Amino acid sequence: MITQPAGYLKRIRELCTKYNVLLIADEVATGFGRTGKMFACQHEGVTPDLMAISKGLTGGYMPLAATLTTEEIYKAFLGKYEDFTTFFHGHSYTGNPLGCAVALANLEVFRREKTLMRLLPKIRALARWLEPFIELPHVGDIRQRGLMVGIELVRDKTTKEPYPAGARVGHRVATAARTKGLIIRPIGNVVVLIPPLSTSTEELRRMLELLKDSVENSAIG
């Protein structure tokens, strides 16, 4: 949960174009509004050569993934059978009709409910409610992009000394949150909060209250 510096992705795009290298963007977790725009690449006006999407494509209700690419790359795999330019790889459940139907319905919800536009006040509220966390004794850093948050827990706030892996402090915070009715996940010493896009502002506020209480009272030290 480490965010890229401003301008990083744009510069990568420039270098890939300059040296004729394909740029592949993994938007499986960041796509479909999660960072505040439909795709994270759009924050810097970047168009990748290939993009991997999943998760938010169906709103998480059905497993479905897709790989998007440019017309130029697509045409590179066209030709006569004997030329063997075809990309023959596939898998057993390609184009699952139920998954595709769910994806279409989900995209219609995005359009009809103006999901991206309605995210903006939630993102601003989330940033505001995260501010008090930085004052907690063992919070070393807070990283937010849209409705994606990583709260890094450290042994020493001054030196940013990390906890040893065996301390499992992220797990302890997540366990404490679960007893309060909030299901989150840790990645090592980083507590991850990724609320559903449909979360109301009031629900979001309550999530932050429970999470703050869990960080304060989960016996980390």
pLDDT at site 90: 79
Provide the pLDDT for residue 219.
Answer: 58
| Nearest of 175, 121, 110 to residue 146 by alpha carbon | 121
- Per-residue DSSP letter, 29: T
Condensed to tens digits (0 to 9), the pLDDT of residues 98-150 reads 999 999 999 999 999 999 999 999 999 999 999 999 999 899 999 999 999 99
Q: Is 2 domain-assigned?
A: no
Query: Is residue 172 over pLDDT 80?
Result: yes
- Residue 165 is predicted with a pLDDT of 87
Residue 53: the pLDDT is: 97
Burial of 122 (0-12, 13-18, 19+ CB in 10 A): buried
pLDDT at 182 over 90: yes
43 and 19, same structural domain? Answer: yes
Q: What is the pLDDT of residue 56?
A: 95
Q: What is the mean pLDDT of the chain?
A: 94
- What's 56's DSSP letter? G
Asked whether residue 126 falls in the same domain as residue 209, the answer is yes
Tell me, yes or no, whether 173 and 86 share the same domain: no
Confidence (pLDDT) at 220:
66
The closest alpha carbon to 162, from 182, 188, 193, 185, belongs to: 188
Closest residue by Cα to residue 161 from 134, 141, 131 = 141
- Whether residues 101 and 161 fall in one domain: no
pTM: 0.89
In this structure, are 108 and 187 located in the same domain? no
pLDDT of residue 120: 95
* Interval 29-43: pLDDT, tens: 999 999 999 999 999
Of the residues 112, 136, 158, the one at which a domain ends: 112
Confirm whether 187 is domain-assigned: yes
Please indicate, yes or no, whether residues 83 and 176 belong to a single structural domain of this protein: no
Tell whether 14 and 71 lie within a shared domain.
yes
- pLDDT of 184 reads 95
Query: Which residues have CB under 8 Å from 152's CB, separation 6+?
Result: 1, 139, 140, 141, 142, 143, 189, 190
Tell me, yes or no, whether 28 and 67 share the same domain. yes
- Domain count across the chain: 2
Pair (147, 200) in one structural domain: yes
Q: Are residues 95 and 157 in the same domain?
A: no
Q: Which residues contact 162 (CB under 8 A, 6 or more apart)?
A: 154, 155, 189
The parent domain of residue 147 ranges over 115-216
Query: How high is the pLDDT of residue 196?
Result: 94
- Average pLDDT (176-197) is 95
Residues 59 and 103 in one domain: yes
**Which pLDDT score, from 0 to 100, does residue 217 have?**
85
